[in-house]
Amino acid sequence: MDRKRTSGTCHLLGSSLISWHNKKQACVTLSRAEAKYIVARSCCAQTIWLKHQLSDFGLNLSKIPLLCDNTSAINLTKNPVQHSRTKHIEICHHFISDHIMNGDCKIQFVDSENQLADLFTKPLNKERFNFLKNELGIIDFKNVN
Amino acid sequence: MEAVRLLLAYACLKGLRLHQMDAKSAFLNGFIDEEVYVSQPPGFEDHNPDYVFKLKKALYGLKQAPQQWYERLNNFLLSQGYERGKTDKTLFIKNSYNDIILVQVYVDDIIFGSTNESLCEQFVATTQGEFEMSMMGELNFFLGLQLKQVEHDIFLCQAKYCRELLKKFNVENCKKAFTPIATGCYLDADETGVDMDQTKFRQLIGSLLYLTASRPDIMFSVCLCPRFQAKPKESHYVAAKRILKYLKGTTEVGLWYPS
């Protein structure tokens, strides 16, 4: 066991699941908030790409909601204070707070019950697995309509 | 792949009807700017066997061929008044009055949709005048994805591929599993375990990874396996088999894009 956490993100346009990703993080993190902060950053980068692509389609978005289930991580993006528990977090991870200040996206809290990205980060039981599948629009063609 | 899914989702949202077409022997269309010579191919020998042929246009297998094809298509579309996407260089857009046409190119496969059907017809007519095209029509099969357009909703899946995969790995008679991974499943290097065939394990992972293009539900469990592909043990093989068992019960599952 190497104590590295798994990042998982997913992106939806309307209720269509467009992109998702799961990756074992490259560095060991000290707290859950820090791990979530790293995920939020990679999620933000992907969102920015999608935003640019959509602006080519003629759809301009701003303040795209980015849902995160950890309040500490959210507070970290709002107020990048340098106190003893967070000052080791690398500068590149502060990328996200910059984009929030520019108004590209905004970060919102979601309770872990409705955290859709759980599908990409942990093994789940049948009920939870099917619930998330349904929420993300991963369904059997027979059940369509 | 993401760009394609994004286009599909956007099309649903805006109620665009998507069409596809395919360029026939696309690479042969490219012009080459360098001097390239080929040796005489069998069946086309000249009476002077020491001569080589100089190429006027691109051939398959030529290093420059894909780039030259893109260049040709790019120049053609730009001359027709299309604009190239700022981030994605394979997306072409044309606005006319309040209508927009979106063209996404993937080497020789082209998908396009517009808010105004007459723009689509115009696009088809002009490209057909320039290149030889085939397989025109409603979008139903693209890059191995099966697509179904139901009114303005789109459903994409890889059911056909999935069935072939299950056949290939002989799991047709297995029991079904409800989830792709057991809840308490913990995989580690398992150094004392029984060694398994590395090639077969890699083949299995490779096939499963391709399936994740339309199946995010198996993403987590599939991505867990390749971490052990250097030394696959029996326990890893069991985990991979479990994904196949899960797939057996969910062959027809795919992504649903509602409008």
> What residues does B157 pair with on adjacent strands?
B146, B254
A1 within some domain = no
Give CA angle at A9 (A7, A11), nearest 5°. Answer: 170
- Residue B233's SS3 state is strand
A135 within some domain = yes
| Nearest by CB: A19 against B2, B13, B87 | B2
A65 within some domain = yes
Model pLDDT, residue B148: 85
Instruction: Report whether B92 contacts B51 (CB < 8 A).
Output: no
Cβ–Cβ contact A14 with B under 8 A: yes
For residues B252-257, give the mean pLDDT. 87
Instruction: Report whether B165 contacts B211 (CB < 8 A).
Output: yes
| Mean pLDDT, contiguous 10-residue spans, chain A (145 residues) | 81 86 83 83 87 85 86 78 66 76 86 86 86 86 71
Structural domain that includes position A119: 6-143
Pick the more confident residue, A97 or B168.
B168
A97 within some domain = yes
The structural domain count of chain A equals: 1
Q: Residues 122 to 161 of B: which have CB under 8 A from any A CB?
A: 148, 150, 153, 155, 157, 159
- State the average pLDDT for chain B: 84
- CA proximity to B224, closest of B188, B197, B251, B248: B188
**H-only helix segments in B2-156:** 2-14, 65-79, 117-130
**What is the distance between the alpha carbons of residues B163 and B247, in angstroms, rounded to a whole number?**
9
Instruction: Report whether B93 contacts A56 (CB < 8 A).
Output: yes
**What residues does each domain of chain B span?**
2-143, 159-254
Give CA angle at A55 (A54, A60), nearest 5°. Answer: 100
CB contact under 8 A, A13 and B6: yes
Model pLDDT, residue A80: 63
Distance from CA of B26 to the nearest CA of A (A): 26
Which tens digit of pLDDT belongs to each residue from B187-243? Answer: 777 778 788 888 888 888 898 888 888 888 888 888 888 888 888 888 888 888 888
CB contact under 8 A, B9 and A125: no
What's the whole-model pTM score? 0.82
**What is the distance between the alpha carbons of residues B77 and B75, in angstroms, rounded to a whole number?**
6
- Other C-beta atoms closer than 10 Å to the C-beta of B219 total 22
Task: Select from 2.30.110, 1.10.3470, 3.30.70, 1.10.357 the CATH code of B2-143.
Answer: 3.30.70
Which tens digit of pLDDT belongs to each residue from B107-129? Answer: 888 888 888 888 888 888 888 88
- What residues in A contact B257, CB-CB < 8 Å? 16, 137
Model pLDDT, residue B201: 87
Which tens digit of pLDDT belongs to each residue from A38-68? Answer: 888 888 888 888 888 888 888 888 888 888 8
Predicted interface score ipTM higher than 0.90: no
C-alpha dist (Å) from residue A18 to A13, A137, B51, B118, B203:
7, 11, 54, 28, 27
- What residues in B contact A115, CB-CB < 8 Å? none
Which tens digit of pLDDT belongs to each residue from B33-90? Answer: 778 888 887 877 777 777 888 887 888 878 888 888 888 888 988 998 888 888 888 8
**H-only helix segments in B103-154:** 117-130
Place of tokens 């990874």: B209
CB contact under 8 A, A53 and B93: no
* DSSP label of B31: B
Q: Quote the tokens at residue B48.
A: 């002077």
In chain A, what's the furthest Cα-to-Cα distance? 54
C-alpha dist (Å) from residue B63 to B34, B59, B109, B154:
12, 9, 20, 37
For residues B92-105, give the mean pLDDT. 86
Model pLDDT, residue A87: 66
Distance from CA of B224 to the nearest CA of A (A): 9
C-alpha dist (Å) from residue A56 to A133, A139, B30, B88:
30, 30, 27, 9
CB contact under 8 A, B250 and A140: yes
